Chain A
């Protein structure tokens, strides 16, 4: 019993393992009515969706789901035009490509046509500038996929930076050096005490202006809005991660540090090998929650003209005038992102707990 009391395994693990067990097991003594209520749930969902559909019919909304796929991928028609007047003097195969040579009185131009191209001219034909030499079609990512990619890129970079900021912040937060400690408290309170939207505006329009002007003055290029977006999200998440890491470190029993230090390990060594690995296991669930929030919060970045998923969807809506379909799909896409992340973390957690 005594040994159980001081076991340093966090209680949360034991609980979560138990939860997984009960999820995997078929309930042996489920009441008869269980399936009935599952049915009620399903019927309820259908009724709500049905009512919503009925309401949209009432206001004569025109559902056109078939118009939506083009915002994921579409076939782009590409035409290769001649830039000069002249005669087609040669059509030559060069590997997969075809080379079309056009001769004017005093200049010659050659166009490369890819294998998929359908050639629209013949040798000896006289053509004018702007005539179509060849045409082909190509699959291109639609607005939503472009936005999704930017959201993903933003979130991944900001998450990595957020973890780095958070781990450093967590360590300086518990430092005995007042300069480090108070600087961290100041940072955390500053970030947590103001809306993310305001922080994004400050990052782009205040800090961004200053930084870009300084960069320009020293002869370097401007930093694109994307990076100010990343910075605002990383700093925002970093403050919360700092608190998560601090709590995680402090939740590890003092005896762990003492054992490590009594063996001659330095503060840094005991943190790296003993405290942080244990803290990490414990903070994984709140950390995952934080990064799910980050993905969702990235939808605010449209305000500084970053074409992330939400901004892309809004552009698609102004082009197509199909807001119902596109916004529903938008919500679904975020759900896919966050759900994937939480599944991945759950697997990671399980893997670590087994150890």
Chain B
């Protein structure tokens, strides 16, 4: 489903940072991969390279057989197939919950108004906030906002979902409701790449855990391997800090 081959990304401003160094990995359809690692290790950059919010300097990225970095690729079409959920929700504050979810369906997928509404209502029910459809994002709690953001991404019927620390901006009591939605998605067979420090989620849901440090993948393994006997010192150090 996703194939990443030797990608590199260096930021030059404000100062030179090698955010990704020769990163390669493969993600199978239906697989749930958790990416973890210390702050600044390049997790977000990796995720953002997958839908070309950041343009990798070199290497290859294939999603469902489509070359992400090929300038001839219709990037908007590709992005519609790759849902993304941000740490800071990024809901459109001037639109109601319902409009947030129907907007891209209408302008990107060209769905009719009634189809888009039907889909939106179905998804709101799925994420458990159908009663807030007329509200504006600022009047929702963080957990509710993030669930709307997930619904907004799902409305495009993506083949892959990318989550960049979806719960780190949330108050602790709201983390569970968002993780529950993600767990449901995983059991339904969605291909997911999740950057998170929620190790409980990783243990329970992940097929694979990727540990990154300083822009490189340090260790990859099943959750059992990862939590029971990590091989690298840096992984052990990180786990000891986080668990």
Contact = CB atoms under 8 A, between A and B. Distances in A.
Contacts of A261: 53, 76, 79
Interface stretch (B9-17, B28-36, B134-142, B191-199): B134-142
A263 B86 contact: no
Contact of B108 (A259, A263, A274): A263
A5 B169 CA distance: 9
Contact of A262 (B77, B79, B169): B79
A273 B53 CA distance: 19
B76 A355 contact: no
Contacts of A3: 141-142, 145, 169-171
A265 B169 contact: no
Chain B interface size, as a band, is 35 or more
Contact of B86 (A258, A265, A278, A281): A258
Contacts of A253: 90
Interface in A1-24: 1-3, 5-9
A9 B145 CA distance: 14
A255 B142 CA distance: 16
B51 interface: yes
Interface stretch (B91-99, B116-124, B207-215, B223-231): B91-99
A355 B136 contact: yes
B93 A9 contact: yes
Interface in B44-67: 51, 53
A277 B93 CA distance: 10
A264 B93 contact: no
B169 A259 contact: no
B138 A273 contact: no
A223 to B, nearest CB: 40
A266 interface: yes
B107 A269 contact: yes
A355 B92 CA distance: 12
Contacts of A322: none
B198 to A, nearest CB: 15
A121 B19 CA distance: 100
A51 to B, nearest CB: 52
Contact of B53 (A9, A262, A277): A262
Interface residues of A, number: 27
Interface in B87-133: 88-94, 103-104, 107-109
Contacts of B103: 263, 273-274
Nearest to B77: A264
B152 interface: yes
B136 A265 contact: no
B156 interface: yes
A2 B80 contact: no
Contact of A265 (B82, B94, B104, B153): B104
Interface in A250-303: 253, 255-256, 258-266, 269, 273-274, 277-278, 281
Given A265-B104, A281-B94, A259 B80 contact: no
B84 interface: yes
B169 A2 contact: yes
B103 to A, nearest CB: 6
A265 B76 contact: yes
Interface string A114-140: 000000000000000000000000000
Contacts of B83: 262
A6 B104 contact: no
Contacts of B138: 7, 9
Contacts of B82: 262
B107 A259 contact: no
Contacts of B108: 263-265, 269
Nearest to B79: A264
A260 B95 CA distance: 13
A280 to B, nearest CB: 9
Contacts of B88: 6, 255
Contact of B156 (A2, A263, A278): A263
Given A3-B142, A9-B138, A264 B104 contact: yes
Interface in A213-257: 253, 255-256
Nearest to A259: B90
B90 A263 contact: no
Contacts of A355: 94, 136
Given A3-B141, A258-B86, A281-B94, A263 B80 contact: yes
A125 to B, nearest CB: 76
Given A255-B90, A264-B108, A2 B76 contact: no
A258 B90 contact: yes
A36 B79 CA distance: 66
A264 B169 contact: no
3 closest residue pairs by CB, A with B: A264-B80, A3-B142, A259-B90
Given A259-B149, A261-B79, 9 more contacts: A2-B171, A5-B169, A259-B90, A259-B91, A263-B80, A264-B76, A264-B104, A266-B76, A269-B108
5 contacts: A6-B169, A253-B90, A256-B92, A273-B103, A274-B92
